[in-house]
Structure 1
C-alpha cells in the first residue's frame, strides 16, 4: 500500500475524543494518529514518564480519553 493510502486509512480511524466519554479507553494504535506521532515516539514518551497517563487493562496499555484531553490541554498551555 502506498504511504499516502496508508495515511488516509489511518486518518479514517482517528477517534473523535470530543464525542467520547472521559472513561473511554484508547489503544496506542488509536492514539498515535490522534497525536500525530509515531508508535516508537509514544513508547519512548511512556518510558520517560511523558505523554498521556497510561492505564493498564489486563496488563495492556490503554489511555483514558479524559487523561488524553488533560495532557493535550497542558501541552498546549506549555507551547
Structure 2
C-alpha cells in the first residue's frame, strides 16, 4: 500500500504542476512575467478551460487523498 501511495503521489504531483501551468493567466502577476502574454492554443475555448478546471480539481483532490493516506499509513502502519 505504501508503494502505491508513493507512486500515486508522484504522478499526481507532476500532473498537478503541468495542469496549473496550462491555465491561462488572468492577472498581471508572476505568470505574465514568464511569458503570460503568449497564449497557448488550448486556452482559446471556454469549453477547454472548463474541462481543464475540472481535471485540475479532480487531480488536486486525488493528490490530497494520497497525502492523507500517506499520513495515515505512517501513523498507523
Tell me the TM-score normalized by structure 1: 0.22
Say which one has the larger Rg. Answer: 2
Greater helix proportion: 2
More strand by share: 1
Q: TM-score, normalised by structure 2?
A: 0.23
Higher RCO (C-alpha under 8 Å, 6+ residues apart)? 2
